[in-house]
Amino acid sequence: MDFHHILETNSVSILTGLVLIMVFWKIRERLIITSRWPPGPAPIPLLGNLLQMDIKAPYKFYIKLSKKYGSVFTVWQGTKPVVVISGYQAIKEAFLNRGEEFGGRSTYPMIMTVSKGYDQHTESFISNLDSWPDLVYSVIGLSLCASAFDIFSSVPNSSLFLMTPDPVFVPLPKGVTVSNGKRSKDLRRFTLTTLKMFGMGRRSIEQNVQEEAKILVKAFREYEDSVFNPKELICKSVINVICSLVIGHRFEYDEPKLQLIHKAITEYFYVLNNPIGAMYNIFPRILWYLPGKHQKMFASVNSFKDYIREQAELRLKSLDTSDPRDFIEAFLVQMLEEKDNPHTELNYDNLVMTVWNLFGGGTETTSSTLRYSFLMMIKFPSIQEKVQKEIDEVIGSKVPTIDDRVKMPYTDAVIHEIQRFMDRTPTALPHKVIRDTEFHSYHIPEGTTVLPFLSSILFDPKLFKNPYEFDPENFLDENGRFKKNDGFVAFGLGKRVCLGEALARMELFLFFTSLLQRFTFTCTLPPEEINIEPAGSSFGRMPRSFDCNIKVRNVE
């Protein structure tokens, strides 16, 4: 054996030993750092707690953990630690009493990808590969690099390799929903002010909702003697309400532009709520390069963005700065006023993404809640009859108005109970702490993702007497009057409460009463066979798809 061979062998042994020492040291360092974190199940390297949870319904996993670990615990989504806060008192303390500390916006990689605008790197990367084996080898290489990166990352809450798309690929998120700091504050302030200016929560937008409800009633009449799924009609009606605010007019249900908007929104939420979305959120660096429904969805969302940008550029040519007609024009007016401000957040990218946020946040949740409302009326015909009786007594044959709501406590209670029982978003969008924080004797490092487990409030027996039963009495006092409940957090709470809460409440009441005023909902199944348990998904709880029959009521 020659000298060079011995030297090479010893060098490899020494290098291997040094690597093992470094790995041991980093593991020890991580254990020390995480020792003060909230407790939780032990994670598996790279996978975290993925194998322990139902990827279609992670909220069920959180329910089990809250019983075992209490109101604050840690779960690992892949290589990313997430602190979950459960229970009314703990959530109130974090997101209301200490809203500044817990008011940062973390989010899921898929939402971040969509919120960071256009990106051609995936296409160019794949186009440079000669074959699919090259792609497979590249993904394997990424995974190996990720393993090494994860081991040597000394900060547990850092954006680890597998967990976050490369910031070179996509810059800081645009729009109002997932941004932070100055961008979030400026865009949120402008958006709220502008929406109020165009009537959100006021008479002007109420008239738009009433008109859209009237058109929806007319569309439903065409299905009087047939079985149909109301999903698309309801969704397009709700989209049109947002269109009236943002674009300045509604579309006919079969118009291509409405189809484009509807396609982008439905595909986005379909992917977000399915296992492919969950896997992307855990391993975006791998799914980023692979084909699938998520790539089709990204293309549809980009088509939506193209349309909004075209609208903005077209309006800019003939803009009357003294009389903006809708949200887009109001944004353009303010953008022109601040064009010389190098720090302004009013630019085309933020305009396009804020409009996307308004459509995404203002459409799916409202339309899915309405669909679930009518499913519940089919399941509980006696409740449907009581609602219709109150409609007949208070509204009669006239067009429902938002002023009618205070005179209709039972209907109001039913709508609130539908939202509570549906529990559309068990954890809301994720927050993050903006600085190192001590909470319930645990240390939460700056930048850590924090989830408010809203289900723990909505199904708390201390706040609702029959939490696991559908019971409108949860929102009625002993005299039959509507009773507010601090546990009603369907729109979130704290600094990041839903921007469109006032509009959503108006839409739910006016669409719900307008349709029940004119129709009785039934289906071919007996009520006891109707499954009202919302379908679990990676992002929330969705109403199950259903077909229904409608019987026209005589209210003239």
Cβ neighbour number for residue 5 with a 10 Å cutoff:
9
Taking the C-alpha atoms of residue 260 and residue 240, their distance in angstroms, rounded to an integer, is 13
* Cα distances (Å, whole numbers) of residue 392 to 396, 399, 551: 4, 12, 16
**Rounded distance, CA 203 to CA 535, Å?**
36
Burial class (CB in 10 A: 0-12, 13-18, 19+), 322: exposed
Check: CB of residue 326 under 8 Å from CB of residue 246: yes
The one-letter code for the residue type at 364 is E
Query: Is 498 marked as a binding-site residue?
Result: yes
* 371 φ/ψ angles, rounded to the nearest 5 degrees: -60, -45
**Residue matched to tokens 């409202």:** 366
Contact status, residue 413 vs residue 472, Cβ threshold 8 Å: yes
CA angle 479, 481, 486 (to 5 degrees): 115
The answer to whether the beta carbons of residues 64 and 421 sit under 8 Å apart is no
Phi, psi of 110 (to 5 degrees): -65, -40
Helix (H, G, I), strand (E, B) or coil at 22: helix
Q: Confirm if 515 and 547 have CB atoms less than 8 A apart.
A: no
Instruction: Find the helix packing angle between 181-197 and 348-379, rounded to 10°.
Output: 60
Cα-Cα-Cα-Cα dihedral of 199, 203, 207, 208, to 10°? 10
Alpha carbons 216 and 516: distance in angstroms, whole number: 12
Distant-in-sequence, close-in-space partners of 332: CB < 8 Å, separation ≥ 6: 312, 315, 316, 319, 324, 351
Tokens representing residue 298 in the block: 């990204």
Task: Give the span between the Cα atoms of 512 and 317, in whole angstroms.
Answer: 40
Residue 92 contacts residue 98 (beta carbons within 8 Å)? no
Q: What is the sign of the dihedral through the CA atoms of 546, 270, 348 and 126?
A: negative
**Residue 443's beta-bridge partner residues?**
438
Q: Do the Cβ atoms of 555 and 74 come closer than 8 Å?
A: no
| Separation of alpha carbons 361 and 371, rounded Å | 16
Q: Does residue 165 sit in helix, strand or coil?
A: coil
Residue numbers belonging to the annotated binding site for heme: 498
Residue numbers belonging to the annotated binding site: 498
